């Protein structure tokens, strides 16, 4: 279901992580009339002085002044806290979110991977947890400056019934900002369907040092992507959420039709940032392995990624 309405709404948002993802969606929420508070890291002073720029086919935006905070500041409570940090920071996530979460606060997790929502629910039983799976191509190009290239759909999936009730209001707020939205009934299914793309194309783009179009154009690249995707399908089935017939061919077809695209893990690798291997590869492997099933090619790719990630960051020091 794709909505594109401008239903009235009055949610306030705190965006944790003002990067390519958080900066873009925060900007769209502001454009849609929501109250938005940003938490940034290195860019706080810059954004306070110069504002936040987001160039986008949806219209270039220059937000100034912007309500922006350091994570150590006292930050007014919002109805919704959007998690836009890289999952490589998740060992600090609970501590960082703690001051922002009250009774009934809605945590909207925008990260890639598996099992993040379970950890948030365990740490914050007083909160309501919803996943927002982002299909977005945007880059941070400088301090307080984001370039949105293409896509942007957010697919909402609730952790539980309390979350399910909140999704219409979330959809209205994002939609008011021109963001395409949809909702999916099952969080595990939504997460595994996203992994079906992320596991092959993020990993291969790093290991083969190419964008998605080069993978799709090469006979071995395609077969490799299909081999990994088939193992992810086995993983999904093992976890009780099998893919529909036709899902994988459709995903390959969509990828084929995409403009040349550098997945986020490739951008992280090129910038010598830590790769999101833990939540995108290790956690899915762990969930499947708990149920007695192995995904050998995905395991091999995950190990190669850990190897190249370690050497990549060693060289950067």
Residues that bind its own copies (CB under 8 A): 207-208, 210, 214, 218, 220-221, 223-224, 227-228, 231, 296-297, 299-301, 303-304, 306-308, 310-311
Q: Alpha carbon of 101 to those of 15, 29, 117, 272: distances in Å?
A: 13, 20, 15, 32
Q: Based on CB atoms, which residue is closest to its own copies, 181 or 305?
A: 305
Among candidate residues 86, 180, 194, 250, the one labeled active-site is 194
Whether residue 65 contacts residue 51, with contact meaning beta carbons closer than 8 Å, is answered with: yes
Q: Based on CB atoms, which residue is closest to its own copies, 62 or 214?
A: 214
Return the DSSP state at 162.
H
Q: How far is the CB of 300 from its own copies (least distance, A)?
A: 4
**81 by DSSP, 3-state: which?**
strand
Distance CA 100, CA 102 (A): 7
Q: How far is the CB of 228 from its own copies (least distance, A)?
A: 8
Q: How far is the CB of 57 from its own copies (least distance, A)?
A: 32
Q: Based on CB atoms, which residue is closest to its own copies, 217 or 271?
A: 217
Q: Alpha carbon of 30 to those of 16, 23, 62, 151, 178: distances in Å?
A: 15, 10, 11, 18, 11
The tokens of 184 are what?
A: 């999916």
Q: Based on CB atoms, which residue is closest to its own copies, 190 or 210?
A: 210
Distance CA 110, CA 122 (A): 18
Distance CA 23, CA 56 (A): 12
Whether residue 146 contacts residue 139, with contact meaning beta carbons closer than 8 Å, is answered with: yes
Distance CA 23, CA 146 (A): 7
Note if 194 is an active site residue: yes
Distance CA 143, CA 182 (A): 31
Q: Based on CB atoms, which residue is closest to its own copies, 116 or 305?
A: 305
In 3D space, the residue among 257, 122, 110, 105 whose CA is nearest the CA of residue 166 turns out to be: 105
Whether residue 226 contacts residue 248, with contact meaning beta carbons closer than 8 Å, is answered with: yes
Task: Please return the burial class of 170, using the count of CB atoms within 10 Å of its CB with bins 0-12, 13-18 and 19+.
Answer: buried
Q: Based on CB atoms, which residue is closest to its own copies, 24 or 279?
A: 279
Q: How far is the CB of 307 from its own copies (least distance, A)?
A: 5
Q: How far is the CB of 199 from its own copies (least distance, A)?
A: 12
Token pair 């050497």 is at which residue? 311
Q: How far is the CB of 227 from its own copies (least distance, A)?
A: 6
Catalytic residue list: 194
């Amino acid at each position: 279901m794709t909505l594109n309405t401008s239903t009235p709404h009055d949610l306030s948002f705190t965006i944790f992580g003002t990067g390519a993802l958080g900066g873009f969606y925060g900007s769209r929420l502001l454009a849609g009339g929501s109250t938005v508070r940003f938490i940034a890291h290195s860019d706080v002073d810059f954004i306070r002085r110069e504002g936040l720029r987001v160039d986008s086919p949806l219209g270039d935006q220059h937000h100034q002044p912007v309500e922006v905070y350091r994570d150590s500041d006292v930050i007014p409570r919002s109805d919704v806290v959007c998690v836009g940090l890289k999952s490589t920071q998740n060992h600090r996530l609970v501590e960082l979110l703690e001051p922002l979460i009250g009774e009934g606060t809605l945590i909207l997790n925008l990260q890639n991977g598996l099992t993040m929502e379970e950890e948030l629910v365990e740490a914050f039983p007083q909160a309501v947890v919803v996943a927002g799976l982002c299909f977005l191509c945007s880059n941070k190009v400088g301090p307080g400056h984001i370039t949105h290239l293409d896509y942007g759909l957010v697919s909402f999936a609730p952790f539980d019934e309390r979350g399910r009730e909140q999704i219409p209001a979330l959809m209205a707020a994002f939609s008011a900002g021109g963001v395409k939205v949809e909702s999916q009934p099952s969080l595990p299914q939504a997460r595994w369907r996203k992994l079906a793309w992320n596991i092959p194309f993020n990993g291969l783009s790093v290991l083969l040092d190419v964008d998605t179009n080069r993978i799709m154009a090469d006979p071995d690249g395609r077969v490799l992507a299909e081999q990994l995707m088939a193992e992810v399908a086995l993983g999904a089935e093992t976890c009780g959420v099998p893919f529909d017939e036709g899902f994988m061919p459709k995903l390959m077809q969509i990828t084929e039709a995409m403009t040349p695209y550098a997945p986020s893990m490739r951008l992280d690798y090129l910038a010598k940032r830590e790769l999101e291997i833990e939540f995108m590869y290790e956690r899915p492997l762990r969930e499947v392995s708990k149920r007695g099933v192995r995904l050998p090619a995905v395991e091999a790719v995950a190990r190669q990624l850990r190897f190249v990630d370690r050497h990549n960051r060693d060289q950067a020091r």
